[in-house]
Structure 1
Amino acid sequence: MAKYRKLGRTSSQRKALLRGQVTSLIYNGKIITTEARAKEVRKIAEGLIALAVKEKDNFETVTVDAKVAKKDAAGKRVKEVVDGKKVTVYETVQKEIKKDQPSRLHARRQMLKVLYPVTEVPEAAAGRKANTKKVDLTQKLFDEYAPKYAGRNGGYTRIVKIGQRKGDAAMEVLLELV
């Protein structure tokens, strides 16, 4: 018996397809795809969520001093003239950050091997680069999905059959996080 479905593609195309669909599933919470693809995506996604559940509390909180640019009421950086040059004024602020333990860092890197980077574009500024922001899907896995699924022993996804696709009569399904 085979370990995985080939999905009629070369290995590089198949890996890219599965990575894209897993990324989309974690970002959106559900995707519509064929039954064979959904079963393959489910394996990968459930592994990532299980990894996040296992490592969700494996960090320590550390207080650090950070230099932050001082800003005026309009949100622009405050500058002062020193030796004839405009220099930004910085102030020191204490911040609390989460520092991953080695096993959680390893888990994060394993997730990043599978997930593609996602950039969120606001509706109002569609087509412009301004106001876009990168979404950290590993953080979403650790902060949202891990506490949600902490009490479950697997079975984080559900496949619901929709019907046959018009073009090739392939069974379409809705793959969603429970």
Structure 2
Amino acid sequence: MAGSRKLGRTSDHRKAMLRGMVTLLLEKGKIVTTVARAKEVRSAAEKMITLGKAGTLHTKRQVYGYITKEDVAKKLFDDIAPKYADKNGGYTRIIKIGPRRGDAAEMAVIELV
């Protein structure tokens, strides 16, 4: 469901990591991660919000199949998607916060707008 960055992971590990990060982003509203991961999470999260806006049975099944926590998926349909009903994309914001102390990886905050 995401873009083409491999992020140094096998495909199964990468898919599971992105599912977990998207779930956490929708649950908390903001997460701190590397810039490359943030760009991948943005792609997947915006697709989930777009599916949530449709609200059909098919899209609900797609979202429940991707989001790892049932209460977060319910929150997506009840709270998050209606908030963006009149907006066509651009639901997230990435803010770069500088290098990480240990390995100097470029860090960023990704948040729901």
- TM-score greater than 0.5 by the shorter chain: yes
Runs of 4+ in 1 over 4 A off after TM superposition: none
Report the equivalent of 1:27: 27
Q: Which has the higher helix share?
A: 2
Distance 2:66 2:17 in 1: 11
The aligned amino acid for 1:113 is: G
Check if 1:149 corresponds to 2:84.
Answer: yes
Distance 1:32 1:106 in 2: 31
- Stretches of structure 2 lacking an aligned partner (at least 5 in a row): none
Report the equivalent of 1:165: 100
The CA RMSD measured in Å over matched residues stands at 1.1
Distance 1:166 1:41 in 2: 22
Query: TM-score, length-normalised on structure 1?
Result: 0.60
Equivalences for 1:22-171 in 2 at 5 Å? 22-55=22-55, 104-117=56-69, 136-171=71-106
Q: Which has the higher strand share?
A: 1
Q: Compare CA radii of gyration and give the structure with the larger one.
A: 1
Q: 1:54: how far off?
A: 2.1
Query: TM-score, length-normalised on structure 2?
Result: 0.93
Distance 1:140 1:52 in 2: 10
Q: Secondary structure at the match of 1:155?
A: coil
Distance 2:110 2:26 in 1: 11
Distance 1:33 1:142 in 2: 25
How much identity, in percent, do the aligned residues show?
58
Q: 1:28: how far off?
A: 0.4
Report the equivalent of 1:6: 6
Distance 2:13 2:20 in 1: 11
- Stretches of structure 1 lacking an aligned partner (at least 5 in a row): 56-103, 118-134
